[in-house]
A and B are shown apart, each in its own frame.
Chain A
Amino acid sequence: MEEFLIRLQESDFGVWVSSAPTLLAYPTILMLHTVGLAMVVGPAWVLDMRLLGFGARMPIEALRGAFRIMWIGFAINAATGIALFISEADEKGLKWIFWVKMASIAVALIVTSRLRRVVFGGGKVTEMVPPQAKMLAVASLALWFVAITSGRLMAYIK
């Protein structure tokens, strides 16, 4: 395992990301990872808060478009996340906090797709929010916060 991680990190691409003397390598990739974060978590939290009753005059149907923004943001973050991981595979891949982040994102994705099915799946959206959707919204709020927190702590926990 560790040998594989070292090979990733020392690959041409990994070395380019971590140490190319250009702002387009590590700094820009990291910055885009934050743009993707805003595009995923921002709309997700807006949808969650709406389902929990905030801004109740806002038709839930109007938030259907949020999934498209989240999907673009997620694609950006999967791509930049993989690049960042390759560049520091040996340091990051063996940290438990990295796996907390991966697990929280995996569960958050499952929760999000369920939420989409429960709320938007049946053609016409009912403006009455089922209790199950509220629970999923709470889970989504919390899981994305855990993902952000564990992502940030990767820089601190050895």
Chain B
Amino acid sequence: MFLGFASWLHKTPISLALQHQVAWLWPVCETLHFAGLALLIGVAGMFDLRLLGFMKRVPIGVVKELMPLALVGFTLNLLTGLIFVISQPAQYFGNYTWWLKVTLLLIAGLNALIFETVYAGRAASIPAGDDTPFALKAVAALSLISWFGVLWAGRMLPFIKLGPAATL
């Protein structure tokens, strides 16, 4: 089913346009994808470390003010990632490791959403210097694990080609 979608996508005008640009577009997007991941993991990782109990003297709400930078990194990577997938859909849709990356991405996103909706208010009210409750530490640990998992799967997917794309 996904491979059918992949081959349809591959023939769409936008995919064809991207494929014809691929000589310069691909390395530029890869570079931005690496820069974006550094920004995202740098900022989100710092916030997670604060939730885990590092830099206790800084209020959580203050560390959170850096979060727009993480969002810049995420947006950069979403856009460049979409360009990869639209130009070479079968290579990704047909590789289970890419699906693992997408799953980890969803876990990371859902975890961030749960933090925002359930815990953000409580986190902001923790006075500087106080320890964070277990729930916040768990959210932070899951965030770190899932973001580094996304990185792992993304970097390993050219080497672990399981699924229909193995023969590509």
Contact of A46 with B by CB under 8 A: yes
Residues of chain B within 8 A (CB-CB) of A50 are 66
**A27 vs B42: C-alpha distance when bound (angstroms):** 23
Within the complex, the shortest CB–CB distance from A139 to chain B, in Å, comes to 16
B: number of interface residues (CB 8 Å): 30
- CB within 8 Å of A: which B48-67 residues: 54-55, 57-58, 62-63, 65-66
Question: Contact: B58 with A58, CB < 8 Å?
Answer: yes
A: number of interface residues (CB 8 Å): 37
> Mostly helix, strand, loop or mixed at chain B's interface?
helix
Question: Contact: B38 with A45, CB < 8 Å?
Answer: yes
- CB within 8 Å of B: which A114-157 residues: 144-145, 148-149, 151-153, 155-156
Q: Which residue of B lies closest to A151 (CB)?
A: B34
Contact of B125 with A by CB under 8 A: no
Within the complex, the shortest CB–CB distance from A30 to chain B, in Å, comes to 6
> Mostly helix, strand, loop or mixed at chain A's interface?
helix
Contact of A37 with B by CB under 8 A: yes
Q: Which residues of B contact A (CB under 8 A)?
A: 27, 30-31, 34-35, 37-43, 45-46, 54-55, 57-58, 62-63, 65-66, 69, 148, 151-152, 155-156, 159-160
* Shortest Cβ-Cβ A-B pairs, 10 listed: A42-B42, A27-B159, A41-B38, A31-B155, A38-B41, A62-B58, A152-B31, A55-B65, A55-B66, A42-B38
